[in-house]
Structure 1
Amino acid sequence: MAESAVPNFTMPRLDTRDADFEALLGALLDWEGVSDAEVQQRVAEIIAAVRERGDAALVELTGRLDRLSVSDMAALTLSAERLAEAYAGLPDEQREALSHAAERIRTYHQHQKPESWRYTEADGSVLGQQITPLDRAGIYVPGGKAAYPSSVLMNAIPAHVAGVREIVMVVPTPDGVVNELVLAAAHLAGVDKVFTLGGAQAVAALAYGTESVPRVDKIVGPGNIYVATAKRAVFGQVGIDMIAGPSEILVVSDGGTDPEWLAMDLFSQAEHDEDAQAILLSWDDAHLDAVEAAIERLLPTLERAPIVRASLESRGALIRCRDRDEALALVNRIAPEHLELSVEDPDALLPQVRHAGAVFMGRYTAEALGDYCAGPNHVLPTSGTARFSSPLGVYDFQKRSSIIHCSAEGASALGRTASVLARGESLTAHARSAENRIVPKT
């Protein structure tokens, strides 16, 4: 039955007991997001053009690459009134859903706000940390067919909560196609300026500024290989959030969750694109068989079945492990973007999870809820980078400054220590600067 429903479909099955498991897993996880030399060269040329010719280059590149012929930047600029109009014009159901999601995302990120702090030492010296928001943030939002209003909310709302003074959004509109939901989301999220620009030229404009596009301090948001390459190229001139790879989901199941639920959870990420990755771990052979059968049964019912199929065949897997502990070891080895702990007692497993972008607990928490409206950010580390990085949040739009205010007594005591260390490094000006504040002992 499965073969007739999905001819020649084969989703890889791996077993940790097999001698070649490590090699197979390594090949499965291998993904390199670095662009080739040709892409890098084209991006470098685009960035150079924008730096040299500003608005004129943006108008020309938008006409050539997005097939949108305009005479000046005014035609590529959307007013606050246009965003409000988009929001008001949505069907009631969409407007209410967007507002509900925005409210939940804002509430969650309000809890992330760090506070400045200080403490006073016995000699009267004061040490501390001051938190300040960025002056201006740039939000890149994919456009055209891949339009994601949820990404607007997830990128702009934390910036707004952080206190960023100005939020600038760029969104491509190939062939002049504007997504009203994206504009409505920008209105809800507090975006200040919107330009219908995309690709490397939009990143360059945000990084260096033009006559119309203000220079920002940090660029966040997903994009294609040209956007990712441009973000990498301008890093240092501005901050960036991350270089994101394909979407990923890793599901750990104890065998008690409906196989059809799990099949659809895997599909939910595989439908993003052919490079997306969907993996399920279980120590229950019969359960893995049931999930595989559900995948074969449900795959033909999907609108994006060809994409899902390509993703599952090339980068997906059903993995049989020995037990729960081995499954958790694999979780930390893979360090997934999204982790579903689809088990009876997820709280018992959570302390052993060291590397994951977001953890979805229990049988009822589908990853898709996190993509849209649960509240936590859906901009997450991919390709194993959850080992050392975190979800996008309020803290990404703020800076920390150290505060040091020495009393005369404190400067004298610290000066003696600094003098010894500075002279040990042969930096005598450092030493003498510190020694100037030392009060001679009587």
Structure 2
Amino acid sequence: MTSRINIFEDTAPRAERPRPVRVAVLGCSGSIGTQTLDVARRHPDKVRVVALSVNTSCAALVAAAREFGAAHVAVADSSRAGDPALEELSDGCELGLGEDAVTALAELPDVDIVVNALVGFAGIHAGYAALAADKVLAYANKESIVCGGDLLMPMARPGRLIPVDSEHSAIFQCLVGERRSDVHCLWLTCSGGPFYGKTREELARVSSSDALAHPTWDMGAKITIDSASLMNKGLEVIEAHHLFQVPIDDVRVLVQRQSKIHSMVEFSDGVVKAQLGGSDMRAPIQYALSYPERWEASVERVDWGSCAPITFGEADESTFGCLRLAKEAGRAGGVLPCAMNAANEVANLAFRQGSCGFLDIERVVEGVMSRTAPERVESLGQLLEVDARSRALASQILTEV
């Protein structure tokens, strides 16, 4: 396997972005996708949207394509081929159908940056294709790094892989101008979700509507449930481990209820740098598009003199076992994070659909991990097999009492 390079090494040359930068937004109807389009509206002289994709939301796709004049669009669900909304696409707009058509958008010669806002493991195909085509990959699809970091990270050149997750964008920004050898640890913050402070007995009785009531962020359903279980933070620990090349145990989770400190870096001399801002994903999205520049804000500025006091707390891994399990998977490495992620995606969906309880998410993940043999990651095909096998096993475990 190709040896890793430090994709954030500050001594690496920073190529200036073209103006306007040509962007493909994969998953343009979701939370990250729609906020990316908001940034494009705010900076029409700096961002040109040339390609868009959705899973099934054809009307939203057509509206965005017409607004921005996109030349290429794709619908992942090929069964939507007959959707009447697609007849409203502008003349000359190229339509592709199926998951391969979405991936193909990441390789287009007239695309400079690929915003990967696809949900779940399925986003790994587009991320792989973008890096292989030497595009800048602005990714919010953390599952692809969690499952395939051993494959994707060696493909990334300096400045070509920019995190969109608020926490990893914060760490990225804190490391600008710093030597990686001076890093003592990373402090990965989280709000604690809607169930912070609850006992396991209380968690056994919560509903999906309870879990979807996030206290500070407006996100998609899947990631909101992951935030409630702290699985999202576990995935982010593994993500940070790959991105910043630090051991799992040097990525420390800290509850920051107000979601104003997005993460911190502690250095060998005890100095801590933090990135602060409002709870608005448009800020890290814009930074991923503008790097190494900074553009005029697309978000409301925080009045620091009048905001609530900032507090910290411990992440309770004994109560929220998904965080513990994700760390275990990260320490073991190989295909175990892929199996863990697949199990979580199945259980997360089952909970949203009302077919299992909240604590069953943890039970299913632990069951799949315990039945997964450790293997070194060798190929994308291998990860696809592990993902499929783990999903089938997770579905089986859901039926076990």
Larger relative contact order (Cα-Cα within 8 Å, sequence gap ≥ 6): 1
Q: TM-score by structure 1 length?
A: 0.23
| Bigger radius of gyration | 1
